[in-house]
Amino acid sequence: MPDILEIHEFFAEGQNQDRSHVLLHITEPSTPEEFKKGYFFAVAEVNNGPIEQIEHLQKMIDDLESGYYETDSQADKDPFETVLEYVNRRGHHILQYKNSLLHCLVGVLRGHEISFAYHGQPGVTLFYKNKELEELADMDVLAEQNQVRADTLFSSVLQGTINYGDYFYIATPRVADFFTSDRVKKILLSRNTRQAAGHIQKVLLDLRQESSFGGILIHFATKYDLPKTGRAPKSADGSTGSLNRLAGQEQTTEEMLATPLLGGLKKRWNKFRANRSADKKKKTATKAKQAVERLERGKMETNWRPPETQISIINTALITVGKIITVEFVGLFRLIKKIILNTIKITVALVLIISNKDNKRADVLKTFRRWREIKKESFLQLPLLSKALLILTIVLAVVFIASIGIFKIKENIQAGRQAYQNQLQAVIDKKNAAEASLVYGDETRALSLLQEAKDAISNLPADSKKQKQEAQELSGQVNASLMKIQKLYTITPELLVDIAGVNSAAQTQRLARLDDDLFAYGSEDNSYYQYDLIGKTVASKNYGNNLRLRAASTPKEQDIIVFAAGDNGAAIYTKETSLLSQKEISFPVNDVKLSDLFMYNRKVYTLDQTNGQIFKHSQTQTGFDKGMPWLKDDGVDLKDAVSLAIDGDMFVLKQNGEILKLVAGKKEEFTISGLEPKLDKPTTIWTYNNLANIYILEPTNKRVVILDKTGKLVGQYTAAEWQNPSGMAVDEAKKTVYILDSNKIYKFNF
């Protein structure tokens, strides 16, 4: 049996057309050449878009349709891709409206092969028969697609196949708020295709939402899919009967395009909801009926002509209209000519009066006085009634011109208010969409929408107190939502000690922890400061040999602290002796400059910025051996690396905020997700193999960032008391972080 292709649309017009417009477009081929190219369809939604954008979008769809059917196939490119490239080069004016949101999908169906391109976030789902479970399964077609470019209408073309029994479901984004994939699946299983589309449309209409909804449902039916009888519909009364059925079917927006039924007829649906009346469907149906009647009359009255009286009336009306247009055009031309000549004369007179060229000023003034006297005399000679009418005419003209001016001013004020309301509503819509995304756990999209809303708030007019207040309220709401997504917590840390009280000249920069003691030190200070967390006492210890301590690491045994001393030296503090002593360490290369080190499994790993390398050192009786290069991936650049931490794998922090994950000396994929704002010049990273999180100190934004081992944000903490946090130590078991800031040690729990 032949293919039975069913295409049904559903549409629900919103109550607020200023906010939402939906366009639906389906074209069925009518000629053999067009049948080779198949069906063309489009679904589009514009939110907060002006009428000009809707009209541009409508014309773009029309151009795509005509261009597709008129463009010949090429060896390396099909007509659909060709017309998409043409539209992309000329479609930037559709995207120029910053406060509008555009979602659009255009495509073609050739046999069972479908090709489409999209912009924004339309819903596209394929429902197909699962052979193993013998039930209907669904697939979000766009789920694995990258976000399309915002500055291009259509950045790529997707292709696929619709098999027998499959449903290809396209809908505007907000339809998904009320019809999930599971709900649509249940509808398809319990109804035929026409009833399913009708049910969706009825539910959407009953919702009476401000936004409009629309979509298309495509289905290749088999004899098992057809309702009740299982047979394809047949024409009972030839072409006239088919035409009558077509006229009757076009009274509803749900239409089945079945090639065996419609033969060579071509039908086009073009839904355009932009300040147009809701009875367009009735007009479309009426036109279809009239077309049927004309075709039927053509078979019965092949020589029929309109009566001559109708032709003469039409001709007379056209001649009259032409004469009126001619007379008005001539009168307008004369008026413009007179205005131009008088303007030239007045301009010349003013120039002569100002410049007194050739002593013409006196002559011009004399001419003006004479003209004034003539007009005055003419006015005095007028009858009283004529004077009154002239004065009344002048007054009315002034009032009329003033009224036009006032009307234009009010119109501009109203347009400004409407534009402001549209901008304000766009911000509210983005905020609401972000909150909806949060409900569904899509934090990435919610964060993007809130950032857009925040940028839009900064562009809102602030000409009045009310506008400023509304902008402040919206900004507060958006910032609250941003903080919720960012997991940003402003804490009040506990001040443990001010080292300046011990040594006013202290220059501490970094912090290390050994069991219950904190060590504050700096490369420009010859002393380190040991704070006892139990006894709450602080002691200053001068090591006197100018080691210039730069970084430190404590192993899990909590028995020593290994320090990086100077550019390429080492020192060890021993818990047993409570002494700090310089140790030997060497490297297989020259010009080493250490930015950090980390002790793991009694091995010391040093980070060399100069050579962009990590060296692994073993302990010896006098310190550490020469070390071996540990990094094996030549594509890894470590010359701007500032810190490293090890939990079995190695995490390296770079100055630009990037975190590299290295496994056995080679780079593995690691991405930070959910963090906003991005890391800016962080200084310290720390973790260990028995810990759940990664801890990062960033002085720029005065915050501590906590990630899990996959890079997902756990939380970020800041405090008003911090000025330039430079050192960090963490006790994850006690959920405690210690911060060194301007010679002060703070503590907070997370």
| % pLDDT > 70, the chain | 86
Cβ burial, residue 81 (10 Å; 0-12/13-18/19+): middle
Maximum separation of any 2 CA atoms in the chain, in Å:
128
pLDDT, residue 346, reads: 87
Identify the three-state secondary structure at position 531.
strand
CA atoms within 13 A on the CB side of 205: 11
pLDDT in tens, 406-416: 988 988 888 88
pLDDT, residue 287, reads: 38
pLDDT, residue 559, reads: 93
Residues 6+ apart with CB under 8 A from 170: 41, 43, 105, 122, 123, 124, 215, 216, 217, 218
Structural tokens at position 321: 């209209």
Tokens 């800016």 belong to residue: 680
Q: For strand 560-565 and strand 549-553, is the pairing parallel, antiparallel, or unpaired?
A: antiparallel
Phi, psi at 301, each rounded to 5°? -125, 80
pLDDT band at 233 (very low <50, low <70, confident <90, very high): very low
Structural tokens at position 669: 């994929």
Q: For strand 488-490 and strand 713-718, is the pairing parallel, antiparallel, or unpaired?
A: parallel
Residues 6+ apart with CB under 8 A from 674: 443, 444, 447, 485, 486, 487, 712, 713
Phi, psi at 676, each rounded to 5°? -150, 125
Structural tokens at position 552: 């430190």
Structural tokens at position 241: 């009967």
Q: Both ends of the chain: CA-CA distance in Å?
A: 69
Is the separation of the CB atoms in 513 and 519 below 8 Å? yes
For the ranges 9-18, 322-331, 490-499, which has the lowest average pLDDT? Answer: 322-331
Phi, psi at 462, each rounded to 5°? -135, 50
Residue in 435, 420, 520 with CA at minimum distance from that of residue 741: 520
Phi, psi at 390, each rounded to 5°? -65, -45
Angle (CA) 570 573 575, round 5°: 155
The full 3-state SS of 186-247, as one line of letters, equals HHHHHCCHHHHHHHHHHHHHHHCCCCCEEEEEEEEECCCCCCCCCCCCCCCCHHHHHHHHHH
- pLDDT of residue 561 exceeding 80, the answer is yes
pLDDT in tens, 654-706: 999 999 999 999 999 999 988 888 999 999 999 998 899 999 999 999 999 99
**Euclidean distance between CA atoms 336 and 342, whole angstroms:** 10
Separation of CA 136 from chain center: 33
pLDDT in tens, 598-636: 999 999 999 999 999 999 999 999 999 999 999 998 889
**Euclidean distance between CA atoms 535 and 522, whole angstroms:** 24
Cross-strand pairs, 414:
none
pLDDT in tens, 164-197: 889 999 999 999 999 999 999 999 999 999 999 9
Mean pLDDT computed over 526-550 = 90
Four-residue CA torsion sign, 284, 288, 290, 294 = positive
Average pLDDT, the chain: 83
For residue 553, the one-letter residue type is S
Is the separation of the CB atoms in 712 and 674 below 8 Å? yes
**Euclidean distance between CA atoms 61 and 45, whole angstroms:** 13
Angle (CA) 304 306 312, round 5°: 155
For the ranges 264-278, 303-317, 378-392, 711-725, which has the lowest average pLDDT? Answer: 264-278
Q: Could you tell me which residue, 233 or 702, shows the higher pLDDT?
A: 702
pTM: 0.47
Structural tokens at position 629: 């290069």
